């Protein structure tokens, strides 16, 4: 163990961090980690689901609470599953001179072992193996001379990195230059991007401390602003984003700066409103990391704002340039989202499968990097899904050997009639099948979950080649591999421009959600491209239902720019009776049944005061609860269901009884 002490002293002098992977039987790995912890003083944060009894530990899913803090040495326990976002986030918390000890299953069997983390990113009920991810990780680890690998029943080498000419010192000149500019800044919006460890949160804290006026700080979670608070000192004032919006009239006057830390993790519609409230706004976000990419954030969100001044921090402050751990994590999780420049040649189109991660890993990596550059919410979770989740399909537009367009599709549907009906009734919600289940649960069509379909998960084209028909051609080529499917589907944040693209590709709009998407600030829209007679019948039925419900949907949302009909059709159809029966005697959501309920309360002679208050008088649930003395929304929902039962019985008692019996037979 003396060698590990010497190696630790060396990386501390050089300002680096290193990875030590320990692979073997679970007990043996734990013992090696315990020996290291006894030998090397430090914090030794342990991240894993089966943490030993110790004072400093964290479950992978809770790693977000540690962002902004700093530790010396850590253990990442991946013996049961590899939580990629937590691995990346943990690496970002380690200071210079630290080891990240990675506990792994036995080396030879690792790729075939079920990965417990796969339950987050695959759509199965049981864990699946991470064959492609593990194979690539093993190759990178073996090729990295600065990482250590200890395997049970094998020699445990301790290599030393090449010495640097000088003792490492922090170089904060870039940080100070940006700070000086901000301290003399006029009103406007300023964006600061950086990889982890570059001192962006510290810079924001120093701005708050040195600015002569008042500043407010906001972030997705206060716990992640520890570094900013440390540098701001007594000038640190934190207000949560929702409260800042709710109490803007009281909080905004007299404030010169709003400092928004990790802005890319705040929903875009909230950011749009926040930046309009204050004379100066600083948005800081991570260029790439566990939660997605700041470059995409800059392209998407900041491009929508006028006169944004952009700053970037490149030099690390918490460790030295060329840090071995940072480089290895970036390679493993493909944090470099650079896209190859376009060429003059005509694109050609190819189909790729997951095994191409083994045959042509560079091309698959380029696909992921292009998708990451175009979708700023893309994260390591998506990489894990892309590599190893069942039912993934890819179409790629190539210029020579460079990837310039990518289409990612996911198999959906095929649920049994019993399960699809349970989803429709609000009784079940199994994993996956995003569009197929939503059309059953919210659009009232269990048939959508029974049919076999394929959903477009991501589509991206290099910015310089957009508006040339490449996206449409990707879909056309994807259709060549859809034998046996009933429809293609897509879910997207509705904008007229985006909808025109999907229309040109042959899709039909079948659903518009009543809530704004957190990521895009738009209403969720779903569209289908039918591929079979059953798919055509489903698409026509859903499109007709959307048109008929347009009048009532307009009351639930801001209809500006949405292709919603406004014709009032009061008669109750067979579809309405089925929808109302599902609401009355099953667990169909109120929002999904809104239009049918609106038509129910519009019938002559039907007295339903609670539903009438909500649907015709448009009173809020809180107002109705107060007026009718309900304890809360749950009690009100139960009362709405009872009124729906009464309303159906008043219209046709015999039919209502038959409907109730049919619904009860499904449960």
CA distance 344 to 319: 42
What pTM does this model have?
0.86
pLDDT in tens, 276-328: 999 999 999 877 654 555 555 665 677 777 788 989 888 888 898 889 999 99
**String of b and e for 247-269 (b: at least 16 CB within 10 Å)?**
ebeebeeebebbbbbbbbbbebe
> What percent of the chain stands above pLDDT 90?
67
End-to-end CA distance of the chain: 63
Is there a binding annotation on residue 360? Answer: no
Is there a binding annotation on residue 396? Answer: no
pLDDT in tens, 84-97: 999 998 998 899 99
Mean pLDDT computed over 360-367: 94
Q: Are 397 and 461 in contact (CB under 8 A)?
A: yes
Say whether pLDDT at 262 is over 70.
Answer: yes
Say whether pLDDT at 44 is over 70.
Answer: yes
- Which range of 66-70, 460-464, 498-502 scores highest in mean pLDDT? It is 498-502
Is there a binding annotation on residue 461? Answer: yes
Mean pLDDT computed over 643-660: 94
Say whether pLDDT at 76 is over 90.
Answer: yes
Say whether pLDDT at 402 is over 60.
Answer: yes
pLDDT in tens, 433-450: 999 999 999 999 999 999
Mean pLDDT computed over 66-90: 90
Is there a binding annotation on residue 504? Answer: yes
Q: How confident is the model at residue 520 (pLDDT cuts 50, 70, 90)?
A: low
Say whether pLDDT at 403 is over 80.
Answer: yes
Is there a binding annotation on residue 175? Answer: yes
Task: Give residue 270's pLDDT.
Answer: 80
3-state secondary structure of 419: helix
**String of b and e for 198-231 (b: at least 16 CB within 10 Å)?**
bbbbbbbbbbbeebeeebbbbbbeeebbebbbbb
Say whether pLDDT at 50 is over 90.
Answer: no
Describe the strand order of the beta sheet including 523-530 as a list of residue ranges: 348-352, 392-399, 402-413, 452-461, 487-493, 523-530, 508-516
Task: Give residue 595's pLDDT.
Answer: 95
CA distance 650 to 594: 19
Task: Give residue 599's pLDDT.
Answer: 95
**String of b and e for 282-296 (b: at least 16 CB within 10 Å)?**
bbbbbbbbbbbbbbb
Say whether pLDDT at 130 is over 90.
Answer: yes
Sign of CA dihedral 197, 378, 82, 110: negative
Task: Give residue 451's pLDDT.
Answer: 97
Instruction: Give the E-state strand segments of 462-556 in sequence order.
Output: 487-493, 508-516, 523-530
pLDDT in tens, 1-28: 588 999 999 999 899 999 999 999 999 9
Please report the domains of the chain, with CATH numbers, ordered by start residue: 1-151 (3.40.50.11040), 172-313 (3.40.50.300), 574-666 (1.20.120.890)
Is there a binding annotation on residue 189? Answer: no
Mean pLDDT computed over 139-163: 87
CA distance 206 to 130: 43
Among 49-58, 194-203, 274-283, 612-621, name the one with the lowest average pLDDT: 49-58
The angle, 0 to 180 degrees and rounded to 10, between the axes of the packed helices 200-210 and 173-183 is 40
Q: Are 85 and 380 in contact (CB under 8 A)?
A: yes
DSSP-assigned states of every residue in 552-621: HHHHHS--TT------------HHHHHHHHHHHHS---TTTTHHHHHHHHTSTT---HHHHHHHTS---H
């Amino acid at each position: 163990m003396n060698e590990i002490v010497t190696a630790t002293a060396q990386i501390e002098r050089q300002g680096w961090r290193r990875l030590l992977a320990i692979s073997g039987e679970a007990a043996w790995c734990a013992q090696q980690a315990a020996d290291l912890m006894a030998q090397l003083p430090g914090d030794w944060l342990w991240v894993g689901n089966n943490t030993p009894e110790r004072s400093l530990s964290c479950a992978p899913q809770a790693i977000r609470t540690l962002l902004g803090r700093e530790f010396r040495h850590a253990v990442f326990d991946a013996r049961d599953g590899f939580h990629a976002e937590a691995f990346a986030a943990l690496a970002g918390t380690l200071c210079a001179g630290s080891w990240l000890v990675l506990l792994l299953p036995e080396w030879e069997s690792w790729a075939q072992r079920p990965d417990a983390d796969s339950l987050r990113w695959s759509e199965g009920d049981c864990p699946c193996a991470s064959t492609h991810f593990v194979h690539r990780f093993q190759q990178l680890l073996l090729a990295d001379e600065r990482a250590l690998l200890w395997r049970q029943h094998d020699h445990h080498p301790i290599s030393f990195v090449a010495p640097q000419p000088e003792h490492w010192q922090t170089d904060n000149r870039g940080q100070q230059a940006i700070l000086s500019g901000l301290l003399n800044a006029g009103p406007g919006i300023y964006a600061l991007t950086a990889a982890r460890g570059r001192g962006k949160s510290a810079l924001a804290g120093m701005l708050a401390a040195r600015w002569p006026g008042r500043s407010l700080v906001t972030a997705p979670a206060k716990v992640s602003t520890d570094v900013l608070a440390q540098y701001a000192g007594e000038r640190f004032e934190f207000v949560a984003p929702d409260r800042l919006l709710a109490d803007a009239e009281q909080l905004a006057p007299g404030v010169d700066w709003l400092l928004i830390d990790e802005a890319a993790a705040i929903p875009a519609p909230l950011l749009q409103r926040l930046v309009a409230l204050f004379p100066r706004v600083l948005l800081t976000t991570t260029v790439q990391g566990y939660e997605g990419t700041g470059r995409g954030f800059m392209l998407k969100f900041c491009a929508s704002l006028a006169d944004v001044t952009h700053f970037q921090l490149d030099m690390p402050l918490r460790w030295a340039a060329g840090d071995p751990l940072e480089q290895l994590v970036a390679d493993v999780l493909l944090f470099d989202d650079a896209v190859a420049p376009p060429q003059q040649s005509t694109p050609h189109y190819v189909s790729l499968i997951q095994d191409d991660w083994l045959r042509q890993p560079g091309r698959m990596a380029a696909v992921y990097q292009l998708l990451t550059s175009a979708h700023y919410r893309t994260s390591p979770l998506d990489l894990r899904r892309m590599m190893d989740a069942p039912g993934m399909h890819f179409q790629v537009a190539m210029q020579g050997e460079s990837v310039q367009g990518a289409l990612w599709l996911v198999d959906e549907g095929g649920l049994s009639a019993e399960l699809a009906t349970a989803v429709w009734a609000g009784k079940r919600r199994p994993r996956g099948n995003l569009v197929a289940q939503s059309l059953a649960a919210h659009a009232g069509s269990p048939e959508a979950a029974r049919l076999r379909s394929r959903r477009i998960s991501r589509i991206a084209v290099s910015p310089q080649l957009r508006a040339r028909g490449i996206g449409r051609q990707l879909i056309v080529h994807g259709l060549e591999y859809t034998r046996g499917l009933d429809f293609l589907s897509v879910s997207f944040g509705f904008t007229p421009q985006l909808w025109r693209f999907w229309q040109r590709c042959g899709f039909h709009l079948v659903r518009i959600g009543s809530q704004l998407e957190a990521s895009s600030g738009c209403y969720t829209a779903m569209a289908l491209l039918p591929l079979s007679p059953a798919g055509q019948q489903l698409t026509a039925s859903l499109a007709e239902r959307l048109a008929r419900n347009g009048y009532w949907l307009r009351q639930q949302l801001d209809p500006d720019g949405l292709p919603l009909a406004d014709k009032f059709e009061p008669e109750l159809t067979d579809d309405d009776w089925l929808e109302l029966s599902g609401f009355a005697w099953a667990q169909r959501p109120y929002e999904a049944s809104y239009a049918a309920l609106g038509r129910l309360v519009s019938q002559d002679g039907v007295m339903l005061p609670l539903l009438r208050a909500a649907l015709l008088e448009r009173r809020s649930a809180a107002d109705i609860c107060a007026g009718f003395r309900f304890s809360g929304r749950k009690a009100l929902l139960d009362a709405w269901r009872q009124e729906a039962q009464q309303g159906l019985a008043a219209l046709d008692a015999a039919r209502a009884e038959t409907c109730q019996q049919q619904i009860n037979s499904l449960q």
